[in-house]
Amino acid sequence: MNIIVKIMQYFKYKNIKFKSVGENCNFKSLRSTFLKSHNITIGNNVWIGPKADFDGAGGIIIGDGVIFAPEVAIYSRTHNFDSDDLKAILFDNVMLTAPVIIKDYVWIGRRVIILPGVTIGKGAIIGAGSVVSKDIPDYAIAVGNPAKVVKYRNQDKFDELYNESAPFVYQKLGHKKEFKSK
């Protein structure tokens, strides 16, 4: 990596303090934003693509081995726009917060938006461009706006790989890609 980029990353991230960050994580894109980072927990072997936009106001917990494609947005707060004590139109100065939890070995596609209060289960895959507004179960493959489960992964095969000593794709196979026709 270019020394100038490394210096720029150092100055950008020197004051960004996460609640915790595991080992072997890649998230320091110059074009990413981590608001309220002190409420964000990042597990081991997490890869966050460039242009991430994470708002940790309500808390974000990211498990081990999670991969985020570029331009993923996570929101853990929203405006108060529809309550009995609403003080203004369209919304007031009250922020409603709810944690986002992403469990182990989840793959989040490009330009996914994850809304406050969502839990994404272990081994789930979220298709590119999806808007996740409700919980996604373990091993589910969900796509669309709003994201809906379209099928489930082979849990036996997942568990077999999960129990290996180094199941994470980049540990096991590196970054070299192999192309195969469907």
Which CATH number fits the domain that encloses residue 108? 2.160.10.10
**4 inside domain:** no
Number of domains in the chain: 1
Q: 170 lies in a domain?
A: no
In a domain, 103, yes or no: yes
Q: Which residues span the domain enclosing 136?
A: 13-163
Domain assignment of residue 88, yes or no: yes
Does residue 105 contact residue 162 with C-beta atoms inside 8 Å? yes
Instruction: Report d(CA 75, CA 32) in Å as an integer.
Output: 14
pLDDT in tens, 131-168: 999 999 999 999 999 999 999 999 999 998 888 887 77
CA distances from 32 to 48, 54, 148 (A): 9, 8, 27
Print pLDDT tens along the chain (182 aa): 588 878 888 877 888 899 999 999 988 877 889 999 999 999 999 999 999 999 999 999 999 999 999 999 999 998 877 777 867 677 667 788 999 999 999 999 999 999 999 999 999 999 999 999 999 999 999 999 999 999 999 999 999 888 888 777 777 777 777 788 88
**Separation CA 97–CA 11 (nearest Å):** 29
Residue 87 falls inside a structural domain: yes
Q: What percent of the chain has pLDDT over 70?
A: 96
Compute the distance between CA of residue 97 and CA of residue 74 in angstroms, rounded to an integer. Answer: 12
Inside any domain, residue 177? no
Distance CA 147, CA 145 (A): 5
Residue 21 inside a domain? The answer is yes
| Residues involved in catalysis | 79
Residue at 81 is within a domain: yes
